[in-house]
C-alpha cells in the first residue's frame, strides 16, 4: 500500500487556501497602490524643491546684480548727518 503525499499551501482545506490567496492578493494590490502614491508624493516633493531652489537662486542673483550695479549702497556714509539726535556722534555740538 503506497500513500501519496499532497502539499497544500495556505491551509488544510481548499477553501482555506483560496481565502489565504485572496488575502495575499489584497495585500499585494494595497502595496502596489501605496507604492504609486509614494512615487507621486516624491515627484511632488522634487518639483517643490526645484521651485524653492529656483526662487532662491533668482533672489540671490537679483541681490548680487543690485550690489554690482550700486556697489556702495550698504556702506554707511563717511560723515554722519549734522542733525543727528545723538550728541557726540556727529550731531550739533553744545559748546
Domain boundaries, the chain: 14-70
Distance between CA 40 and CA 44 in Å, rounded? Answer: 6
Buried b (16+ CB within 10 A) or exposed e, 54-93: eeeeeeeeeeeeeeeeeeeeeeeeeeeeeeeeeeeeeeee
Reported as a single tens digit per residue, the pLDDT across 43-72 is: 999 999 999 999 999 888 888 776 655 555
pTM for the full predicted model: 0.49
What confidence score (pLDDT) does residue 77 get? 58
Output phi, psi for 90, to 5 deg.
95, 0
- Residue 89's pLDDT band (boundaries 50, 70, 90)? low
Reported as a single tens digit per residue, the pLDDT across 2-44 is: 777 766 555 556 788 899 999 999 999 999 999 999 999 999 9
Amino acid at each position: 500500500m503506497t500513500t501519496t503525499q499532497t502539499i497544500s499551501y495556505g491551509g488544510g482545506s481548499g477553501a482555506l487556501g483560496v481565502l489565504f490567496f485572496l488575502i495575499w492578493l489584497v495585500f499585494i494590490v494595497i502595496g502596489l497602490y501605496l507604492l504609486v502614491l509614494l512615487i507621486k508624493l516624491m515627484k511632488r516633493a522634487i518639483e517643490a524643491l526645484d521651485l524653492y531652489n529656483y526662487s532662491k537662486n533668482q533672489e540671490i542673483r537679483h541681490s548680487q546684480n543690485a550690489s554690482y550695479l550700486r556697489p556702495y549702497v550698504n556702506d554707511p556714509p563717511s560723515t554722519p548727518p549734522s542733525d543727528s539726535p545723538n550728541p557726540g556722534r556727529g550731531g550739533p555740538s553744545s559748546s
